[in-house]
Amino acid sequence: MKHAKAILVIFTFLFVFGTMKIAGNNAMVVHEGVRNVELNESVILSYESHGVISIINDTDFEIQAANEMWAGDGSSDTPFIIEGYNITNDASLSIEIKDVSLYFEIRDCLITSATHLNVGGVDLVNVTHGLLENCIISYKNTGLDIDFCDNLQVINCIMDNNAGAATVDASNHTTFTGCYFTNTTTGSGFYQDSSLWTTVSNCKIMHNGDYGVEIYGSDYATFTDSEASYNRYQGFYGENSDYGVYERNIVKANGDEGIYQFNSEYLTVAENTIYDNNRYGIYISSVNHVNVSYNTIYNNTFDGINLDDGSFGLIESNDVFNNGWTNFGSGSTASGIIVEYFDECIVSDNQVHNNSQHGIELSTVSSSSVEDNDVWGNYGVEGECGIYLYDLDFCNITSNTVYNNTDNGIYLDYTRDCIISHNIVYDNTNDGLVLDDSNRTLIYYNDFGWN
């Protein structure tokens, strides 16, 4: 279907310049200031009009494939091919396939409604070995709904202007590559529950009316090389989902946190660029075994990184700066990195600068270390320190370079059995090192000057 492939190329081109919205007359509108770009209606009509497709089992699939003369035989080498259709339907699901173990592909299809109605687009239930590629799904309740499925692939599909873009429920080994989850009216761009081993890569998750990504009870979820931006709430929200990986994503201008993870274990958040979010850059709560490393985090309204309540954390080699200034005039300030109510956390090799409160702050933490960080130029007006430590037990503050902060370089308040060693602390407005109600502190081989 060369015409159908041509239209997908045009749609993809338009997305490079802005987030699209499909109008009720099948015209494409790109939201970029006052710029509107409409597709030629004759190109839209190059799809072959087709009615609703409903397949209830393998036998039914084979019968319909023969009647429709779909290519393939349902095997792994020659899957059934459903392609090139325009299914505009306001009354029921456009494509429904359930209880199927045959191999199949849905390619180059336009699936839409004349107006927003409470009907779904594509619904796959208890199927395996399915593939969707180069499809456009719009003006539906849920654009793509995947339930109780295994080994599904979704490639280069556009799910735009639906109530919810895509839902994955009780399904395993689902992959999304090069897809758009955009412009939902009420739901999240990508919603997942009780599913394992999902991979989302090179996708755009933007301008959604709820969360960008919202997952629950879904272990081994991986999100890489994608963008989650301009969503109403968090860019990425995860709850009770262990072994999650969030790497090399752009996460910006979301209404709440960039990345928010709750009650999960063995998380990796690495090499992301996170900025201009309306709350925290990264907020991770009630978590054990978390690695936050090599991220660039800036211009967020609250703290750049906040780890709250857990154990076994690593915050390493991040560049965290310019956080907390949005609400600075109203008295709200934020630190670059905060760790609180945590055991055994390492904060190392970070660049933390120009945040509106403390550079690094640890509160009610034990058996942890702050080492080899560069902390400078944190400029607030409420006694902001380079490194601020409160209610700590058995912690090491070692080999940090701390300078040019508004108040003190390193401040210990109500700490016990801590070691301060091999730090270089200079050019801070007040004292280089302050101990307040702190006991059994070992201090050696530090360099303090010009404080």
Give the C-alpha separation, 298 to 34, whole Å. 29
Q: Residues of the chain with pLDDT > 70: what percent? A: 87
Under the banding of pLDDT at 50, 70 and 90, the label for residue 245 is very high
Strand stretches in 156-264, DSSP E: 158-160, 164-169, 175-177, 180-182, 190-193, 199-201, 204-206, 213-216, 222-224, 227-229, 236-239, 245-247, 250-252, 259-262
pLDDT at residue 117, rounded to an integer: 66
Rounded CA gap, 184 and 10, in Å? 21
What's the CA gap between 323 and 336, in Å, rounded?
Answer: 6
- Each residue's pLDDT tens digit, 145-194: 999 999 999 999 999 999 999 999 999 999 999 999 999 999 999 999 99
**Rounded to a whole number, what is the distance in angstroms from the first to the last CA of the chain?**
72
Query: 433 near 407, Cβ under 8 Å?
Result: no
The pairs formed by 34-41 with CB atoms below 8 angstroms and a separation of 24 or more are 39/7, 39/10, 39/11
Q: Where residue 114 falls among pLDDT bands split at 50, 70, 90?
A: confident
The per-residue pLDDT for 427 is 92
Inter-residue contact 305 to 327 (CB < 8 Å): no
Pull the structure tokens for residue 310. 């857990």
Taking 50 as the threshold, does the pLDDT of residue 348 lie above it?
Answer: yes
pLDDT value at 338 more than 80: yes
Strand partners, 136: 110, 158
Q: What is the pLDDT of residue 331?
A: 55
Whether 372 contacts 349, CB under 8 Å: yes
Task: Decide which of 3.30.420.40, 2.40.30.20, 2.40.30.10, 2.160.20.10 is the CATH code for 117-448.
Answer: 2.160.20.10
Between the CA of residue 52 and those of 97, 159, 230, what are the distances in Å?
A: 11, 18, 34
Least trusted range by pLDDT, from 10-14, 59-63, 214-218, 395-399: 10-14
The full DSSP string for 271-312 is: S-EEES-SS-SEEEEEEEEEEEES-EEES-SS-SEEEEEEEE
How far out from the chain centre does Cα 440 lie? 43
Q: In the structure encoding, which two tokens stand for residue 367, read together?
A: 């058996």
Pull the structure tokens for residue 386: 């380079």
Mean pLDDT over all residues of the chain?
A: 90
For residue 317, what pLDDT is reported? Answer: 99
- Of 148, 110, 152, nearest to 5 by C-alpha is 110
Q: pLDDT by residue (tens digit) across 376-401?
A: 988 866 667 999 999 999 999 999 99
List all residues 6 or more positions away from 173 whose beta carbon is below 8 Å from its beta carbon: 150, 151, 152, 196, 197, 198
> What is the tens place of the pLDDT at every residue in 276-308?
999 999 999 999 999 999 999 999 999 999 999
Lowest mean pLDDT segment, chosen from 28-37, 113-122, 186-195, 266-275: 28-37
pLDDT of residue 327: 66
What is the pLDDT at residue 38?
A: 33
Q: Residue 429 — φ and ψ, nearest 5°?
A: -60, -40
Which of 7-11, 57-61, 80-84, 205-209 is the least confident region? 7-11
Measured CA to CA, the distance from residue 303 to residue 449 in angstroms comes to 29
21 pLDDT above the threshold of 70: no
Largest CA distance in the chain: 86
Residue 37 has pLDDT above 80, yes or no: no
pLDDT tens per residue across span 250-285: 999 999 999 999 999 999 999 999 999 999 999 999
What phi and psi values does residue 3 have, to the nearest 5 degrees? Answer: -65, -40
Flag whether pLDDT at 346 surpasses 60: yes
Q: How confident is the model at residue 115 (pLDDT cuts 50, 70, 90)?
A: confident
The answer on pLDDT for 433 being more than 60 is: yes
% residues pLDDT > 90 (the chain): 80
| Rounded to 5°, angle at Cα 384 from 380 and 386 | 115
What's the average model confidence in pLDDT over 98-114?
Answer: 96
Nearest C-alpha neighbor of 241 from the set 212, 255, 272, 220: 220
Whose CA is closest to 216, among 235, 234, 242? 242
Chain CA centroid to CA 390, Å? 31
Pairing of strands 28-31, 19-22: antiparallel
346 and 323 Cβ atoms separated by less than 8 Å = no
Closest CA to 392 of 349, 347, 357: 347
Instruction: Decide if pLDDT at 25 tops 70.
Output: no
Angle 289-293-299 from CA coordinates, rounded to 5°? 120
Task: Report pLDDT for 35.
Answer: 24
